[in-house]
Structure 1
Amino acid sequence: MLGFLVPTDQRRTLDELTDKLDLSVGSVAAKRSAFWIMLVLSAVIAISGVVGDSTATVIGAMIVAPLSIPILGVALGVATGRAALVGRSLLLVVAGIAVVVVLGFLFAQLLPNPVNVLSNAQVVGRTSPKLMDLTAALATGLVAAVAITRRDVGDVLPGVAIAISLVPPLGVVGVCLGSQAPALALGAFVLFASNMLAMIITTTTVLLLAGYGRDAEAPTGRRGRAYLVLGAALILVAVPMVINSLSTLWAGQISDVARDWLREQPSAQVVDVTLHSDTATITVLGPQQLPDLAELQRRVDDLVPWHPDVVVVHNVGGRVRPR
C-alpha cells in the first residue's frame, strides 16, 4: 500500500524535503523574502475577495498563499524528531497568522459599513465550520503529503492549496474582528485551525510510513509527545465543528416541525430557522393569527435534547397592488 502511495523510484530524499520545507536552510534570504512577499500579496487578494464577495478572487489567493510551507515543515519536524525545525516552522506560522489577521482588521476599518460584509457568502461560509470541513481537510492533507513526498505529482499542489484554504479564513478572522464580531472571528479561526492540524497530522503520518523518521533516526519518545499534543488539539477544534454540524441538522428538523405546525395556515411560511445555544429562533411570514406556540415548543422539546426556548419572529405579510 505504501509503495503504491509513494513509489521508491519517485520518493524524495529527506534532504530534498528539508530544503523544500525548511526556510532556514539553503538560500535563506531568498526563501524568506519570497515567503513574506507572497503571503502579504495573497492576504490582500483574499481579503479583497472576501470583502467584495468574489469567489474567483478568493480562489486566486489560495493558489498564491505560501502558508502551507511552514505548516508542512512542522509535520516534517515532528516525523523526524527535529524540535528545532518544529519551533522555527511554528514561529513562521504564528507570524503569518498575525500578518493576515491584522491586514483583515485594517481592511475592515476602511469599509463604510463593515456590518454588511458579515452577511456575504465568503464570510458566512467560513464562520460556522462543520465536521465535513474537517473530513475534507484530512483528505486534502493526505493529498498534500503524497504530493510533497513524490517527485511526479507536484502539479497537484495548486489544487491542494485551493482545497485546504488557509489564508481566506484568516482574512475573515481579521475582517470580523474589525467589524466587532468576535464570535464569527472565532468560527473562522476554528476552520483555519482544523485545516492546519489536518494537514500536519496526515503529512506526519505519511512521512513516517514512508520511512523519513527512520532516515533521520528520530527518537520515538519525542515523537510520542508531539502526537499527543496534535491529537488533543484536533479534538479541541473538532468539538465546535461537531456542535455546528448537529445544530445545522436540528435546525433543519425544527424547520420541518414548524412547517407542519403551520399546515392549517396555508398562506404562512417558515422563512428562516436558527439554533444558537439555548434558543431556537423561527422566522415566520404569515397572517395575523398563528397556531398555539405551546404546541410548537412541545414539538421542539421532543426533538432537541436540551429543550431550547422557541422564539417566533412573526412578520405579517400581505399583497400590495399598484394603484
Structure 2
Amino acid sequence: MPNTFTYLLKRLWDEITRLFSLHLDTDEAGTTENVKKSIEFRGGNLWALIFACLIASIGLNTNSTAVVIGAMLISPLMGPIVGVGFSVATNDFGTLKYSLRNLVLMIVLSIGAAAFYFLLSPLKEPTAELIARTQPSLYDVLIAVLGGVVGIVASSRRDRGNAIPGVAIATALMPPLCTAGYGLATLQLEFFMGAFYLFFINSIFIALTTMIVVRSLQFPQIEFLDKKREKQMKWAILLIVVVTVVPSVFTAIHVVNEAIFTRRVKDFVSENLMMMEKSEVLQYKAKYASDSSVIEVIMFGEELSDERIAEFSRKLKNYELEHTFLDIHQSTEKRPTDLPQQNFDVSKYEEIYRRKTEEIESRESQIRELREEIARMKAAQHPIHKANLDKISRKIAALYPDIEAIGLSEVVKSSQLQDSVITDTLPTALIHWKNSRQADKYTQNLSKYLQLELGLDTVEVVNY
C-alpha cells in the first residue's frame, strides 16, 4: 500500500512537472536568431521608433489612451532590452555591447523626437496621461518583471503566439520616454526625471527577468576565459538591481499612503462638507505630504463662520487626518474666476456649467409647454369661443339690417407707454356693413349689446 501511494504521488508530480515545463517546445536557435534580429536599429526599425514616438506624444498631449496604446504596439524598444538580458544570460558580451549601443540610440532619438513635438505643440499643459508617467513605484517593478517573463517565454516558443503585443502594452516603454521629452521641452525637471526613472525601472527588470528565464531554460553559454571578469559582471548586475529597486520601494510606500489619504479625504468631504444644505462644494483637492497635508476646498453659498470651519478641522481626527490642514475658499457673490487662483481641475466647473445649463433648458422647455397649454385652455374657455355665433348673428341682423357679416375673435393689442410696451388681448367683433356710413353711429350700441350677450366687460367693435 505505501509503495502504491508513493508511486501515485510520483506520477502526479511527473505530470505536473511535464505540464509546467518550458523545455518541451523551446526553440533555442530560433530564439537566438529572433532576439539578435530585434536588436537591429536601422531602416524600418528606426522609422517605426520615430513614428511610434510621435504617435505616443500626440496621445499623451491630447490625453488619448487609445492613441498611446497604439504607439506601444508599434514601438521596437523591447528588442534591445531583451537583447541585453539574453546576452548577459548567454555570456555573449559582443551582443551585449551591440544591444546597449542601440538601446542608447533609441532612448536619445525617442526623447529628442518627443521634445521636438512638444516644442511645436500649442498644448503645453500636462495631461493625466503625462502625469501618470512621472510616479514610478514598486508596482511598476512587478509589471516589468511579469511582462519580461511573459515576453521571453513567448519569444522562446516554436509557436510564438500573440503575447508580445500584450507585453508591449503592459510594460509601457514608449510613453515614459515621450513624457521625458515633454519635461525636456517644457523645462520641467520633475517630469523628465520621474518619467526616465520609470523607463529605467521597466528596462532593467525586463532585462533581468529575460536573463533569469534564459538561464533557467539552459540556453548554451559562451565560456569565460577570465573568471575574474565574469565575477565582476555579476556584481555589476546585482548593484544595478539594488540601486533600481530600493528607491522604487520608497516610492511605492508613498503611493500607497497617498491613496489611503485620498480615500479618507473623500470620506471626510462627502460626509461633512457636502451634507450642508445652504453651501455647495464645487471642488476639493488633497495634497499629501508625510509630515503635513492640505485639503483645499472651493465652496459657494452661505458663508461658513470661523467657528464652523474650526469644528470641521477638529473632525479631521475622526478620519485619521491628524496632520492635515483644512483650507476653505468660500464666497457668496464672486464668480469662480474671481477666487484665488488654484490649480483646480477646470473640467469640474465645465461639468457643473453643463449640468446647470441642461437643467435650465429643461425647465424653460417645460415652462413654454405649460404656457402654451394654459393659453389653449383659456382660449377654449373664453366666452368668445363658447359663443353661439349663428344665434348672435341672427339677432344682430334683425336689429341692424345694414350689417352683412359679423365675426368674433381675440386680438392682441400692443401700446407704447413711456419706455415700455404693454401687450393685451381684447375680445373683438368684426362688423361688415352694406353702407359704411351707418357704422360709426351704431358702434357704441353694438359694443354694449355684445358685452351683455357674451358676459364680458369690454368688446372692441371694428367696422369695415
With the length of structure 2 as denominator, give the TM-score of the two structures: 0.58
2:112 counterpart of 1:102: yes
**Residues of 2 paired with 1:194 and 1:43: CA distance?**
19
**Residues of 1 paired with 2:138 and 2:107: CA distance?**
23
Counterpart contact for 2:38–2:79, Cα < 8 Å: no
Counterpart contact for 2:48–2:76, Cα < 8 Å: yes
Q: CA deviation at 1:157?
A: 0.9
2:146 maps to which residue?
139
Amino acid at match of 1:12: D
Distance 1:277 1:113, change over 3 A: farther
Structure 1 portions without partners, runs of 5+: none
Q: Aligned match of 2:183 in 167, 170, 176? A: 176
Q: CA deviation at 1:172?
A: 0.8
**Residues of 2 paired with 1:165 and 1:227: CA distance?**
27
Structure 2 portions without partners, runs of 5+: 1-16, 336-355, 361-464
Deviates more, 1:54-63 or 1:228-237: 228-237
Q: CA deviation at 1:195?
A: 0.9
SS at match of 2:43: helix
Deviations 1:243-262 (A, max 9, x none): 33322333344442696599
1:216 maps to which residue?
222
Q: CA deviation at 1:197?
A: 1.0
Q: Which has the larger radius of gyration?
A: 2
Hey, which of these two has a bigger chunk of strand by percent?
2
Q: Aligned match of 2:133 in 123, 126, 130? A: 126
2:75 counterpart of 1:65: yes
2:102 maps to which residue?
92
**Residues of 2 paired with 1:201 and 1:78: CA distance?**
9
1:200 maps to which residue?
207
Distance 1:191 1:5, change over 3 A: farther
**Residues of 2 paired with 1:263 and 1:16: CA distance?**
61
Counterpart contact for 1:197–1:230, Cα < 8 Å: no
Kindly report the root-mean-square deviation, in angstroms, between the aligned alpha carbons of the 2 structures: 3.4
2:27 maps to which residue?
12
2:157 maps to which residue?
150
Amino acid at match of 2:294: T
Counterpart contact for 1:5–1:146, Cα < 8 Å: no
2:330 counterpart of 1:316: yes
Counterpart contact for 1:258–1:296, Cα < 8 Å: no
Deviations 1:95-120 (A, max 9, x none): 10011111111111112241x1x1x1
1:251 maps to which residue?
258
Counterpart contact for 1:65–1:167, Cα < 8 Å: yes
Q: CA deviation at 1:177?
A: 1.8
2:45 counterpart of 1:35: yes
Q: Aligned match of 2:195 in 188, 198, 211? A: 188
Task: Report % sequence identity.
Answer: 26
Amino acid at match of 2:297: V
Distance 1:240 1:280, change over 3 A: farther
RCO higher in structure (CA 8 A, sep ≥6): 1
Deviations 1:131-189 (A, max 9, x none): 21211111111001101211223421111111111111101110122122111221111
Distance 1:7 1:111, change over 3 A: same
Deviations 1:233-283 (A, max 9, x none): 233333343333322333344442696599765448682222257552321
Amino acid at match of 2:172: S
Deviations 1:67-87 (A, max 9, x none): 111111111110111222111
With the length of structure 1 as denominator, give the TM-score of the two structures: 0.81
Deviates more, 1:89-98 or 1:229-238: 229-238
Amino acid at match of 1:79: A
2:240 maps to which residue?
233
2:392 maps to which residue?
none
